[in-house]
Every structure is written in structure tokens, then in C-alpha cells.
Amino acid sequence: MHRRVLLSLVLSVSLIQGCASISRDECQVADWRTVGMEDGAQGAAPDAIGRYRKACAEHGVTPDLDAYMQGRSEGLKSYCTPGNGFNVGSQGYDYAGVCPKNVEKGFLAAYSSGHRLYELESAVNEALDGVTYTSNQIDYIKKDLAAKEAALVSGEMSTQDRVQLALDIKDLSRQQGALEHDLTARQREYDNRNRQLARYRSRLAYNPDP
């Protein structure tokens, strides 16, 4: 890859990811059209050029605004497609309102479909985390109960210790019962969200694989 293009890509990624420092060499050698194209292809907000100006001003360099805007316009052509809109939404990314009005409607329709899919998938994963966590808690209590019950029947302890152990077993049994009740509710919630996700997938307004 040409050095100017490589530095341009590094510069674009650095500022998009919020890196604080950019070298003088990157500012001086950057192909600003390529930087703009990369930003446009990633849907970067229009104020990105302002961050470049601020970063490069420290080195006495002024970005080529015309070249940047020309490249950004080209990059937006690949970003502002329905297919990419669906992908952006389904990955949970925000939309910065960067698409031209003549293509934004199609982009937003697909983006909304993708973002709804993301929300439903996130809800399923959240519910599954709840089921897994509660199941693990129950397993932990069962192991603790088994150990305490074994100790109780061993007979190798004082009467006071046996009484305390019996109370501990009673409390653990109560906790287990509460968690098993909670697990039933969490499993039901997980099943419901899974059904919602399956229904949505079956009638997606935008089909990513036509």
C-alpha cells in the first residue's frame, strides 16, 4: 500500500477511535481524500474534519478540506445503502444522520429493521444471562447443602455446632427454593423473548439475504 494512503488510514482510524495524538508526519503526508472516504464509509459524523484540524494545528498543518469532503462524499455512497443500514443497525451502532436526503429513507428503513433485531437479540441474551446466573447459584447452594448435610450426620461436633449447622441447612434450603422459583420465572422470560425474536426474524421488513 502507498505510504500516503497507509498514513491516511491510520489517521482516520486514530481520530474515529478517539486517539489523542497524531504525528506531524501523519498530518503532512496524509491523503485527505482517502481520509474523507474512510470516514464516509464508516458513517463518521460531519464534525470529524474539525477534530483533524485541531489535531494537525498543533503541528502547523491545515487539512485539505476540499479533498476531504470529496472523499467523504464518495465514502458515504457505500455507507448509505439499505444493506449497510441493516448491518449498522443490527450491530447496535448509532446513526449520525450523515446520509443525503435522497437515499436516507431507504437507509433508515433498513437501519430500523436491523436495530430492532439487535434489541430483540440483546433482550434474549440478557434473559439467558439471568437463567445461567440463577442456575449457577442453585448449583452452588446444592453443593454447600450436601457438604453441610454430610457434616451433620458425621456426629463429629458439639451439640451447639450441630444446632448451628441445622439452622444453616434450613436457611440454604429456603434460599434454594426461592432461587428455583426465580429460575422458573427467568426461564419463562427467556422463552418468551426467544419466541418474539423468532417471530420478528420470520417477518423482517428488510431481508439482508434476498
Query: What is the residue-level pLDDT of the chain in tens, covering all 210 positions?
Result: 444 443 444 455 444 444 446 778 888 888 899 999 999 999 998 888 888 888 889 889 888 999 999 999 999 999 999 999 999 999 999 999 999 999 999 999 999 999 999 999 999 999 999 999 999 999 999 999 999 999 888 877 888 888 999 999 999 999 999 999 999 999 999 999 999 999 999 998 665 554
Q: Which amino acid is at 98?
A: V
60 in any annotated domain: yes
**DSSP calls for 20-82:** S---HHHHHH--HHHHHHHHHHTT--TTHHHHHHHHHHTTT----HHHHHHHHHHHHHHHSSH
What CATH number did the domain enclosing 125 receive?
1.10.287
Same domain, 115 and 179: yes
Domain final residue, candidates 30, 47, 79 = 79
159 in any annotated domain: yes
CA angle 20/23/27 to nearest 5° reads 105
Same domain, 16 and 56: yes
Q: Residue 175 sits in which domain range?
A: 103-202
Number of domains in the chain: 2
204 SS3 class: coil
93 in any annotated domain: no
96 in any annotated domain: no
Asked if residue 194 lies in contact with residue 124, where contact means CB atoms within 8 angstroms, the answer is: yes
